[in-house]
Amino acid sequence: MPLVGVKKLLTQARRGRYGVLSVLGGNLDMVIGQVAAAEELRAPLILAFNQEVTPQVPLELAMPMLVNVAERAKVPVATTLDHGNSLESVLRAIHLGSSSVMFDGSTLPYEENVRQTAEVVRVAHALGVSVEAELGSIAGSAAETGAPLDDEPESAFTDPVLAAEFVESTGVDALAISFGNVHGTYRGEPNLDLELVREIFALVEVPLVMHGASGLDDGQYPRIVEAGISKVCYYTAMGKQAARDIHRRLDDAETDSAVYHEIISWAIDAFRADTKRVMALVSCIGTCT
């Protein structure tokens, strides 16, 4: 299918009140498994690349790979740069063919976040590319995949009134918000303020995004989507599950002489299985419009 932008996928998701799963595609094994799951369930998918998570994989190789796979998928698939931190980084992704970019200015003072985000939007929209931005502080680094983290204090949560002002001032196509979600691994019981999500949803016309969706009970995902989240970003738990699956197979006496191409096959199977599991919890499964 033709490569689609995040704006198109998420606008439909917001209207239909379902979620679109966004997963990190750091190599071909991951992406083949992830897209296979989406095709099996007939659900849309977003393939994201995060340079911090896979620093040895050049963006110049990774993004064309994601675009190539997305264009050959049998379901709508968008590509995006995850947590780009400069106009230069998002322009690189755009020039490499990505249909969407995320500019993360959430660590900047509010006025500077608005200024830089608006400039990214101006340039990206001129090139036909969707833009996601972030407002509020989500605990943990965007590259965090291991060490437990404390929950983010409420003072860093996204302010609903500022969110509406930010969207109006910047023209972004989607907004990542902070409501107790944590990059990487949660410490203790996750404390998600879904009422805050509902407040922001009521004031903001663009789709809302959740980063840090790993490690939740399965029953929480439908409630997150019902509250107003349209894009669910998920990786850490998936990456850990894939590592466990591969480790288990390597420990098996029958695979004592495993060859690397077998490990590739196991990785594809692992990413397909977990993508399918989480997608079934958040997305529309064969009924997306």
Give the rounded distance of the alpha carbon of 106 from its chain centre: 16
Give the list of residues 6+ apart from residue 196 with CB closer than 8 angstroms, or none.
157, 158, 160, 177, 179
Centre a 10 Å sphere on the Cβ of residue 174 and count the other Cβ atoms it contains: 27
Structure tokens at 24: 């990190």
User: Can 173 be counted among the known catalytic residues?
Assistant: no
Torsion of CA 194, 195, 198, 200, to 10 degrees: -100
Length of the chain: 289
What are the Cα distances from residue 49, in Å, to 16, 17, 58, 85? 26, 25, 10, 13
Q: Which of 29, 82, 173, 274 is catalytic?
A: 82
Evaluate whether 259 touches 238 at the Cβ level (below 8 Å). Answer: no
Evaluate whether 172 touches 131 at the Cβ level (below 8 Å). Answer: yes
Catalytic residues: 82
